[in-house]
Chain A
Amino acid sequence: DRYLSGASHYIHSGMHHSCDTDDPPGLQEKTEFLLKDWVALYTQQNQQSTRDARNFGAFVQKMNTYGILKTDDLITRFFRQATHICTDVVYRMFAEPSLPINQAKNKIFQWIDAFVHLIAMLVRHSGEAGNPTTKINLLNKVLGIVLGTLIKDHEMRGVSFQQVGYHRFFMMLFMELCTADVILESLMHSIVSAFAYTYHLLNPSVAPGFCFAWLELISHRVFLGRILVQIPGQKGWPLYAQLLQDLFKYLAPFLRNTELGKPVQLLYKGTLRVLLVLLHDFPEFLCDYHFGFCDTIPPNCVQMRNIILSAFPRNMRLPDPFTPNLKVDMLSDSSNAPKVLSSYIMNIQPANFKKDLDSYLKARAPVTFLSELRGHLQVTSEPGTRYNMALMNALVMYVGTQAIALIRNKNFVPNTSNIAHSAHMDIFQNLAVDLDTEGRYLFLNAIANQLRYPNSHTHYFSCAVLHLFAEANSEAIQEQITRVLLERLIVNRPHPWGLLITFIELIKNPIYKFWDHDFVHCAPEITKLFESVARSCLAKSNV
């Protein structure tokens, strides 16, 4: 698991406690009294004074006198009561007809900010010096309680659910725990993991009424900075990749059907913005996790996927795709394999199929393996959802990487001729011929997803798709290859480098007789389109 197991245990236990109603008599009143007291202290004086150990010490003393600190169970109950009080404040303030919205929010925020500050102080000071476990357990417990309360609130209130209080809570608590402080900084990895796991459990599929606040939380500049930069060893990267996956997964059914109501459009636009920030500031992150993202993003979201596939390591200089006589196989980068941080091989299921696949790649037999391929990939007979896309992507990637390894072992550099006549190319050619339009579309998309910056995968799959075009036994295959490449190029920038290279080669190199095909001239607007794309691609390269 990507999350620390201890942490998730405490979060889940907190969530469990959020529904508990078996409080000892008087606890609710005690909590209310104490919280009110703390809010007053926090609001009247400034934060400096509550940060002051003496004031905080006095308050802890008071909590102690009320018996709150006697057991862990009571502390948990105190936090739960306090969370409920804050939630009540939210709905009470919004129910006041005479209160302008900003004033209502100000009142709400006074409570929540004070509560958050108390939590941060308790986390900071709990347990003995040098023992971070108590602090982190406490934090996880509180996050779990608030998370559980939110989910229940969301479920019970339905469309009258208000996100603002919870949004404030998570944001402010995170900011408080990010203040410059030696102890808190030493706990950064655990703190960020706790929030990341909480946000994962709170993803839009679970709480769609919280989706906009959720996107703000996961794209906040401080959160991004911490999770992607400040945790050493890129340990935050898989956590953040999971959160993006959650987002893509939620959006997928709406985007796939282009059911783009205004809320979906807004969330989509926000997602694109986050991706653009990542492309600009953390391209290596998008590079490393592109495979898993492409599994989740529906095939029709061309631009969204292009942003991810256009990412390339910052230290790399990409040659201009329009350079005449650019020799891709001569680029030194073309021999380096890209990092793929996704366990895609696990998606090749069932285990028997994987075994047969491996033995076919080794022996190039039996031929029945090829004829049975389609049956493995097809999962339903419903048009539009016939194929297991994740399996298709994994299969294509696996066969490709195996082919590269084999050719490299013979000390060759893959090119359009030495990739032919192999078990690997048998599989690709069989898929191109044997699948129906839908299957072939997914198959060609799986290949096109690997046409990125100069690396060994880009180079191999570029050769492979050109080979499939040249060797196609029907014009339908060639038309579909053209379609898959073209539809990724006629959208707005960015365009992946490998995609451009491949398309330019296809229309420029006479061996493909691209312009002789009927589909290029099937309708005047298509002809025009090709001419304009060709102008922009070829004009530059002829200079």
Chain B
Amino acid sequence: GVTPLGPTPLQKEHQMQFQMMEAAYYHLPQPMDTEKLQTYFHRAPVLTPSHYPQAQMPIYDTVEFYQRLSTETLFFVFYYMEGSKAQYLAAKALKKQSWRFHTKYMMWFQRHEEPKIINDDYEQGTYIYFDYEKWSQRKKEGFTFEYKYLEDKELN
């Protein structure tokens, strides 16, 4: 059978261990317990129907996939999933689409046309930028993008 050597009664020590384990069973560790504190999203695991996807597909973890997402989705990931791999991949995809991050305004800019002026310190012209407070893309004419605010770290 399942106990070929026959059962031996649990000792008192093991019964105590079981009680402590049983108590722990009612407040098991949750995924959020060992993750960075999230400002916007808290994990709240719920049971979903089994016909609904239960796990992320592996391709969601590639930069190619992020390049297929809309810019708005990428901005959402960037601003609301801080410190995650998703944020990193979103930034990478945005850069590939010629968006540049302004470290002072904390917003993404894209040239609307060839800049009117380009020198060693800045460029000036019309830009599209994403305003995370209004949550929309806006146009700015005659904007000076100082290169010292350009986030130009190589994302490998």
| A contact set with B: CB distance below 8 Å | 102, 105-106, 109-110, 113, 154, 158-164, 167-168, 171-172, 204-205, 207-213, 216, 220, 250, 253-254, 256-259, 261-264, 266-267, 299-300, 382-385, 438, 441
- Given A257-B7, A299-B4, are A209 and B34 neighbors across the interface (CB < 8 Å)? no
**Chain B neighbourhood of A438, CB < 8 A:** 5
Q: Is the CB of B17 within 8 A of A161?
A: no
Q: Which of chain B's residues have a CB closer than 8 A to the CB of A263?
A: 18, 21-22, 24-25
Q: Let me know if A205 and B17 touch, CB within 8 A.
A: yes
- CB of B10 closer than 8 Å to a CB of A: yes
Shortest C-beta distance, B136 to chain A (Å), equals 26
> Which residues of chain A are within 8 angstroms of B21 by Cβ–Cβ distance?
204, 208-209, 211, 263-264, 267
Give B24-56 as 1s and 0s: 1 = Cβ < 8 Å from A's Cβ atoms.
Answer: 110111001110010000101000000000000
- What 8 A-B pairs have minimum CB-CB distances, sorted nearest first? A159-B23, A209-B20, A208-B20, A208-B17, A263-B25, A384-B6, A171-B34, A263-B21
- Additional A-B contacts beyond A161-B24, A209-B20, A253-B10 (18; CB < 8 A): A105-B32, A105-B33, A106-B42, A159-B19, A164-B33, A172-B34, A204-B21, A208-B20, A210-B24, A213-B24, A213-B33, A216-B34, A258-B7, A263-B18, A263-B25, A266-B25, A384-B8, A385-B5
Which A residues are CB-close (under 8 A) to B119? none
Which residue of chain B is the closest to A113 with respect to CB atoms? B37
Bound together, the chains give a CA A207 to CA B32 distance in angstroms of: 22
**Bound complex: CA of A210 vs CA of B25, how far in Å?**
10
Q: A167 contacts which of B2, B14, B33 (Cβ < 8 Å)?
A: B33
Look across to chain B and name the residue whose beta carbon is closest to the beta carbon of A174: B34
C-alpha gap A117/B110 in the complex (Å): 37
- Most B CB contacts (10 A, CB to CB) among A110, A220, A261 go to A261
For A445, give the chain B residue with the smallest CB separation.
B4
Complexed CA–CA distance, A110 and B39 (Å): 12
With contact pairs A109-B37, A267-B21 given, residues A216 and B4 touching in the complex (Cβ less than 8 Å)? no
Given A102-B44, A161-B23, A163-B24, A168–B5 Cβ distance below 8 Å? Answer: no
Most chain A CB inside 10 Å of its own CB: which residue of B10, B21, B28, B32: B21
**B24 touching A211 by the CB < 8 A rule?**
yes
Q: Tell whether, in the assembled complex, residue B42 and residue A300 are in contact, meaning their CB atoms are under 8 Å apart.
A: no
Residue B3 CB within 8 A of the other chain: yes
Whole-angstrom distance between the Cβ of A385 and the nearest chain B Cβ: 6
A253/B14 in contact, CB under 8 A: yes
Taking a contact as CB atoms under 8 Å apart, the answer to whether A163 and B18 are in contact is no
Instruction: List residues of chain A with CB within 8 A of the CB of B16.
Output: 208
Interface centre among B5, B6, B9, B23 (most CB of A within 10 A): B5
- Known contacts A164-B29, A167-B29, A168-B34; is-contact A441 B4 (Cβ 8 Å): yes
Instruction: Out of B4, B9, B29, B34, name the residue touching A212 (CB < 8 Å).
Output: B29
Distance in angstroms between the alpha carbons of A250 and B17 in the assembled complex: 9
Known: A102-B42, A171-B34, A438-B5. A158 touches B20 (CB 8 A): yes
- Bound-state CA distance A470–B8 (Å) is 34
Note all chain A residues with C-beta closer than 8 A to B19. 159
Check if B11 is an interface residue, CB within 8 A of chain A.
yes
Give the contacting residue for A262; candidates B9, B25, B32; CB below 8 A: B25
- Among residues of B, the one whose C-beta sits closest to the C-beta of A438 is B5
Identity of the chain B residue whose Cβ is nearest the Cβ of A253 in the assembled complex: B14
Q: Quick one: which of A254, A258, A382 contacts B14, CB cutoff 8 A?
A: A254
In the complex, residue of chain B having the shortest beta-carbon distance to the beta carbon of A211: B21
Q: Are A161 and B8 in contact (CB under 8 A)?
A: no
Shortest CB distance B73–A (Å): 25
Cross-chain pairs A/B with CB under 8 angstroms, 8 sampled: A106-B42, A159-B19, A159-B22, A253-B8, A254-B18, A257-B8, A257-B10, A264-B18
A434 to B1, CA, bound (A): 23
Residues of A within 8 A of B2 (CB): 258, 300
Contacts of A162 in B (CB 8 A): 27
Question: Complex: how many Å from CA A158 to CA B20?
Answer: 7
Known contacts A211-B21, A212-B29, A254-B14, A110 near B4 by CB under 8 Å = no
Of A204, A220, A261, A385, which one neighbours B22 at CB under 8 angstroms? A261
Cα A220 to Cα B6 in complex, Å, equals 36
- Which residues of A sit under 8 angstroms from B14, Cβ to Cβ? 253-254
CB distance from B148 to the nearest CB of A (A): 18
